[in-house]
Structure formats: C-alpha cells, structure tokens
C-alpha cells in the first residue's frame, strides 16, 4: 500500500505541474485522485494542503495544493503548549522576503509575499507528527515540551481553506517516546471501542510484549510523538 501511495502522490504532483491553471487543475486532480483510490493507506490517511502565496505589491494570489499522509507540526519553545497551538503555528502566515522573495507573474519580478497553509481536503484518519527531534552537524536534541491534546472534538475548522460538513476528530491512538536521544523507548496507547469494564473497551498501553489497560490521563505530556485522530463521519 505504501508503494502505491507514493506512486499516486507523485502522479498528482506531476499532473498539477503540467497544467496552465494551477488552482483549477488541483481541484480537478483532487476529485479524480480521491474518488479513484488505489490504496487503503491513501483512503484512510490521504489529505490535501492548500498553499496560498499573496504578493505584497499587487495582492495577486497563487494557490497550489499538495497531498499529504501526515502533518508534521512544529513545537513551540515553551515548557507547556497544546496541539491546537501547534496547528496554529503550522498554518500561520509566513513572510517571504530577502533571499526567499516570491516571483510574481503579475509584477514580472521578485516581490515580498505572504504564504499561508490551509487544509483543503480532510482525511478520514489524521496522523499528526510532533517535531520532537532536531539534528544539526554538532548536536542532537529532543524537545520535552508538554503538549496537551483533546481526547474528543478536535476541530480543524480554524485551519481549513473552506467549510466542511464534518471537521471534528476523536483520538484513536498515539505513539509515545520516553527517555532521551541516547536511551529512548517507543510505546503506544490505543483505544478499543466498547463500554469500559463490560467487553474490554477503553485505552490500552502497548509496551513491547506487555499490554494493559491504562487511563489516558496517565500519559506523560512530554512523550506524545505521533497522534492518530479519526474523523467522526468515518
């Protein structure tokens, strides 16, 4: 499935690049792409981002759309933050200037511009990767910022390019990383549906070969690394 997913994503990027009208082509390609899924991975995790660049001089806009299987979110340099704040940082406007100026076809030259990201297609399962690890030529570092996250009702409406009939997500699983760069360990927490105490429903902790029931409130907020949210209509 992953092999087909990468191939399909590549075809979509090529198709968008060859069309004269980027915005119209991306809309048509998105419809064909998501209506003709060839991969279970894409059907579950496939989403789309709309990148809008607005020229500061003439206010002309250019919109491109890129498919994704997960979102990689920056973590604020603070002791405590939240998943919503990470999403806000990911989608906040970025000024392109200096060496990063945008070539504006309307102005026929390099101009300063504002770039924004919005979700233009919501996946059935939203995989969110928190950028806890950073690497340079001389160092490796893990961010231990405590990230709070909603168990139910995560709304993507503030980060979407258009209104969606259903934009709320509920947490289904999360991958955790404990320890540091030298001696870290991965484990996971997954939700089993059902009434707690009757048929085994509730949260379960998977730690190597050990599996036990665990409360979500017991999670160390410095450990969430990848979170999986399921859309309520999925």
CA–CA separation, 175 vs 161, rounded Å? Answer: 28
What is the overall mean pLDDT for the chain? 85
Percent of the chain residues topping a pLDDT of 70: 80
Reported as a pLDDT band with limits 50, 70 and 90, residue 164 is: confident
pLDDT at residue 137, rounded to an integer:
80
pLDDT at 130 over 70: yes
pLDDT of residue 14: 35
| Highest mean pLDDT out of 22-31, 78-87, 173-182, 188-197 | 78-87
Instruction: Tell me phi and psi for residue 9, to 5 degrees.
Output: -65, -40
Threshold 0.85, pTM exceeds: no
End-to-end CA distance of the chain: 20
Least confident of 14-18, 126-130, 131-135: 14-18
What number is the average pLDDT over the span 153-171?
A: 93
Predicted local confidence at residue 177, as pLDDT? 96
Q: What is the mean pLDDT of residues 135-143?
A: 85
User: What percent of the chain clears pLDDT 90, i.e. is strictly above it?
Assistant: 61
pLDDT at 165: 84
- pLDDT at position 22 over 60: no
**Do residues 229 and 152 lie in contact, with contact meaning Cβ atoms separated by under 8 Å?**
no
Angle value at C-alpha 85, between 136 and 154, nearest 5 degrees = 125
């Amino acid at each position: 499935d992953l092999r087909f997913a990468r191939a399909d994503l590549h075809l979509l990027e090529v198709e968008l690049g060859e069309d004269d009208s980027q915005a119209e082509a991306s809309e048509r390609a998105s419809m064909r792409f998501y209506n003709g899924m060839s991969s279970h991975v894409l059907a579950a995790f496939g989403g789309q981002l709309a990148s809008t660049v607005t020229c500061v001089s003439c206010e002309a806009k250019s919109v491109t759309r890129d498919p994704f299987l997960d979102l990689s979110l920056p973590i604020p340099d603070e002791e405590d933050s939240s998943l919503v704040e990470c999403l806000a940082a990911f989608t906040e406007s970025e000024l392109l200037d200096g060496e990063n100026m945008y070539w504006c076809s309307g102005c026929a030259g390099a101009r300063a511009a504002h770039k924004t990201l919005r979700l233009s297609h919501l996946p059935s399962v939203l995989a969110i990767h928190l950028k806890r690890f950073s690497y340079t030529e001389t160092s490796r570092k893990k961010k231990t910022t405590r990230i709070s996250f909603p168990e139910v009702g995560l709304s993507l409406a503030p980060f979407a390019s258009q209104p969606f009939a259903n934009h709320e997500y509920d947490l289904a699983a999360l991958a955790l990383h404990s320890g540091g760069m030298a001696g870290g360990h991965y484990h996971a927490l997954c939700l089993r549906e059902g009434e707690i105490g009757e048929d085994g429903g509730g949260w379960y902790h998977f730690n190597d070969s050990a599996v036990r029931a665990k409360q979500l409130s017991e999670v160390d907020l410095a450990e969430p690394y990848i979170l999986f949210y399921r859309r309520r209509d999925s």
